[in-house]
């Protein structure tokens, strides 16, 4: 009986260990928004933030880890708590509004009737880190003024060191986005005092055409011809 019981106990132990490893809790992470100032001006600079485009590999709940060879692997001890894209939008919105002290910073698409002083077209092509790799952010923005003119086009590369844990990596990525928002706000401030767009004067409406005169009015009237000649009959 003892010889038959040992393999059964050994198999049960393996199954128990496998069950414990599968039931390990996975931590959920959100980006660190920092402590942005609460904007007080309701009539501050009007900014349309977006569209904000992020790389395809970031549009998932999986938290990716950058490896020393440059490859990416899914983290086994954590994932994003919801949409990373939405977290990035909200972090940038709060940070930019705080730096500009304006309640008039909105995410694209804007509501009807909102006329921005400037629109920010932002693209984030990289945002990741690894246990032995720093957090890296690559982005590009374009600023469009009231007249539709591109006022600035900038490519940004930022790095942030961390302690190596997953929590430290997420915190470092949040810090990078905060630094991005700060640099973006510095570029936006000079565009707050743009001259108003002059309205193009409307051309006066053409006068209505006169009705066509009747044909008989156009025919000159025959006038009698007077003569002093006398007619003699024989």
Express each pLDDT in 135-188 by its tens digit: 999 999 999 999 999 999 999 999 999 999 999 999 999 999 999 999 999 999
Q: Would you say the C-alpha torsion 73, 62, 93, 164 has a positive or negative sign?
A: negative
The predicted pLDDT at position 194 comes to 76
- Lowest mean pLDDT: which of 6-15, 29-38, 102-111? 6-15
Please choose, from the candidates 109, 63, 65, the residue with its C-alpha nearest in 3D space to the C-alpha of residue 87.
63
Please choose, from the candidates 214, 234, 199, 196, the residue with its C-alpha nearest in 3D space to the C-alpha of residue 46.
196
Neighbours of 173 (CB within 10 A): 24
0.85 cut: is pTM over it? no
Give the neighbor-by-neighbor strand order of the sheet with 72-80.
27-29, 72-80, 62-66
pLDDT band at 225 (very low <50, low <70, confident <90, very high): low
pLDDT band at 230 (very low <50, low <70, confident <90, very high): low
52-191 fold: Rossmann fold (3.40.50)
Express each pLDDT in 27-58 by its tens digit: 999 998 889 999 988 889 999 999 999 999 99
Across the range 208-218, mean pLDDT stands at 58
The predicted pLDDT at position 195 comes to 73
What is the three-state SS of 144-193?
EECCCCEEEEEEEEEEECCCCCHHHHHHHHHHHHHHHHHHHHHHHHHHHH
Task: Compute the distance between CA of residue 172 and CA of residue 174 in angstroms, rounded to an integer.
Answer: 5
């Amino acid at each position: 009986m003892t010889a038959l019981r040992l393999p059964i106990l050994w198999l049960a132990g393996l199954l128990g260990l496998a069950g414990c490893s599968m039931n390990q809790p996975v931590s959920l992470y959100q980006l660190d928004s920092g402590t942005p100032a609460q904007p007080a001006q309701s009539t501050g600079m009007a900014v349309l933030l977006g569209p904000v485009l992020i790389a395809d590999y970031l549009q998932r709940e999986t938290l990716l880890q950058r490896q020393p060879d440059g490859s990416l692997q899914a983290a086994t001890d954590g994932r994003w708590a919801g949409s990373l894209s939405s977290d990035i939008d909200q972090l940038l919105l709060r940070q930019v509004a705080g730096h500009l002290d304006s309640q008039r910073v909105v995410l694209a698409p804007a509501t009807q009737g909102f006329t921005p002083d400037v629109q920010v077209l932002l693209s984030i092509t990289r945002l990741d880190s690894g246990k032995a790799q720093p957090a890296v952010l690559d982005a590009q923005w374009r600023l469009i003024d009231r007249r539709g003119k591109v006022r600035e086009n900038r490519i940004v590369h930022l790095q942030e060191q961390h302690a190596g844990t997953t929590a430290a990596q997420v915190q470092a990525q949040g810090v990078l986005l905060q630094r991005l928002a700060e640099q973006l706000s510095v570029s936006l401030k000079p565009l707050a005092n743009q001259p108003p767009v002059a309205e193009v004067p409307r051309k006066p409406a053409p006068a209505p055409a006169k009705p066509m005169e009747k044909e008989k009015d156009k025919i000159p009237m025959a006038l009698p011809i007077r003569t002093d000649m006398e007619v003699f009959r024989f």
